[in-house]
A and B are shown apart, each in its own frame.
Chain A
Amino acid sequence: DSGVTQTPKHLITATGQRVTLRCSPRSGDLSVYWYQQSLDQGLQFLIQYYNGEERAKGNILERFSAQQFPDLHSELNLSSLELGDSALYFCASSARLAGGTGELFFGEGSRLTVL
């Protein structure tokens, strides 16, 4: 158990809909990362938050947004969903921003299926 909790574990929805994925980082971790894993693209970095602020952005679509709340949990919002958004979405956390070693602790993922 990594200590990172993601909900829901599975989600099935239709094209055009909007969903919210939730992540609770390990106790004490300030950084949260979102990754998308699909068969064709592999693991793609989406976005990183540190203590409530956006710190780095990767291949995140404009239809996607995220935020980190004062209690450090994070939500990833996916809107106007398309079939190609079907993927496993991982949240990860780490303890430190500057001076960190890059070790991330991953949740078990939220599997999104868009029909």
Chain B
Amino acid sequence: AQSVTQLDSQVPVFEEAPVELRCNYSSSVSVYLFWYVQYPNQGLQLLLKYLSGSTLVKGINGFEAEFNKSQTSFHLRKPSVHISDTAEYFCAVSLGGGGSNYKLTFGKGTLLTVNP
């Protein structure tokens, strides 16, 4: 079975600073990888996803992530954060190959707090 580890439960940064949220996964088969964001009192929305191809994936709101198969990582980055990026970020994995019974397995989340 696949699993996801988000290495930091909380990441405080100052506005306009760069940020990296770390995610490692484990799986014996190929996977699809996702980052979701949850703003306060809202549901989750997709930031970006890696399915195949280029290992650098760009998402919404200036975020990007890099898939590293050898290190089984999918870290999320943004070069300059804004106050409005304050939210909880979830890394998730599902089995690749378009299997018929896929489900997303989520990490425990990283709370990103952007301070002025």
Contact = CB atoms under 8 A, between A and B. Distances in A.
Interface of A: 2, 4, 33, 35, 42-43, 45, 48, 55-56, 58, 90, 92, 97-109
Contacts, number: 64
Contacts of A103: 34, 46, 49
A107 B43 CA distance: 6
B104 A102 contact: yes
A5 B49 CA distance: 23
A49 B46 CA distance: 21
Given A2-B45, A4-B43, A106-B44, A97 B32 contact: no
B53 interface: no
A102 B4 CA distance: 15
B98 to A, nearest CB: 4
